Amino acid sequence: MGMGVYEKLGVRRVINASGTMTHLGGSIPDPKVMDAMKEASQSFVIMAELLLKSGEYIAEVTGAEAGLVTSGSHGALVLGAAACMMRGSGLEKFEIHPVERLNLDGEWREIIQRLPDTSWTRNEFIIQKAHRNPYDHAFKAAGGKLVVIGTEDKCTEEDLRDAITEKTVAIAFTARREDVGLPLKRIVEIAHEYDVPVIVDAADELPPRANLGRFISEGADLVAFSGGKHIGGPNDTGILCGRRDLIKLAMLQSSPYRGIGRGMKVDRTQIMGLITALRLWLERDEEDEFKEWERKAEWISKELEKVPKILSSKVVRDVRRKRVQVHIAIDERKDCTAVDIVFNLRKGDPSIWVNYLGSNEIEINPTMLKDGEEKMVVTSIRKILTSSISTS
């Protein structure tokens, strides 16, 4: 049921006990999201007008001056980085008129297509070492250069001030690591002394719902969110929100224009899918949703405590961030390790994905489990461990 299109290709269904992972499809959209996408597909629209109007809604719900639907949060970071580097290029004078033909030849085309060449502009993005992550490549993809400051667990105001030069174009901040290093509010205060914008990567920072507007309220100039995680939009959508002048420059670097983000375009169906998902997400009761995740996590933990070779099974909560997981420690003294469990689960049909935490621990994230799938996860783990005991 519901797997016909995948079965025809020989693709297995996944039971997702890993979370809102892009490599597993992100999330499962509400049927109303799919209905909106289907309706959107039946009409042509002026894409620039759709981007502007959807951006107005994003601005309304985030408290930002403007917004833009992007191709994922990584695409949002690339466009945000490009926008910062385009400051002072003259592109600010270009007027967006959706009803006019997008004739960007001549001087405008030359300006809009300068990136990734940055020999003419500031191109250094300062980032705290503790905030480094695989996705900060987005700043380099736009043509920028990373300047890393501080240590793995510390960064001072002096470190930041010493790094700001005439080549500094922006400061990158990773919200997932906000408890380490300089806080966002202080970074914003220092950055704005030098007229340097701050870009926040908040890809996986929803929930809690308060985060949708928190980084803007703390002074960030641009904020990037994923649209395909807990919001429940298409997996390849994202949100960029922030200052009106920077969002305009970001839009002019994207489709339907011809800048560095031309290939990162989003279709009309994706835009309407994301906007619909965002509306639905804002209507949901996040406390009830969190309690349901807790219920599944507690059931999983109690059931796995009964399984031989499991040393401990505990529910780990972060109430502030609305996160809950089950951490399981495996007795590896025999022939079945935590890694063995992870890969044996993945090899099945359906393929079950849990997270490997290192050493002898695995993690089960209940947030993307459909009702009843938690039982399949427990049954499969029990089967693997029981089989291991009987053959050892």
**First and final CA of the chain: distance in angstroms?**
38
Q: Can you give the pLDDT at residue 65?
A: 99
pLDDT the model gives residue 105 = 65
Asked whether 324 and 318 are in contact (CB, 8 A), the reply is: yes
Sheet holding 124-128, edge to edge: 66-70, 238-242, 222-226, 198-201, 168-174, 124-128, 145-149
**Class of 44-283 per CATH?**
alpha beta
CATH of domain 4-23+285-391: 3.90.1150.180
Mean pLDDT of 113-138: 97
Has residue 1 got a pLDDT over 60? Answer: no
Question: What DSSP character marks residue 124?
Answer: E
Do residues 264 and 78 lie in contact, with contact meaning Cβ atoms separated by under 8 Å? yes
Instruction: Answer whether 292's CB lies under 8 Å from 299's CB.
Output: no
Kindly report, as residue ranges, where domains of CATH 3.90.1150.180 are found in the chain: 4-23+285-391
Radius of gyration of the chain (CA): 23
Domain(s) of CATH 3.40.640.10: residues in the chain: 44-283
Looking at the DSSP assignment, which residues form a beta bridge with residue 148?
Answer: 127
Coil, strand or helix at 120? coil
* Bridge partner residues of 314 (DSSP): 327
Mean pLDDT over residues 109-113, rounded? 91
| Single-letter code of the amino acid located at 225 | F
pLDDT tens for each residue of 291-325: 999 999 999 999 999 998 999 999 999 988 999 99
Note if the pTM is more than 0.85: yes
Virtual CA dihedral for 104, 108, 109, 113, nearest 10 degrees? -130
Residue appearing with tokens 């639907």: 69
More confident residue, 320 or 219: 219
State the residue for tokens 């985060």: 211
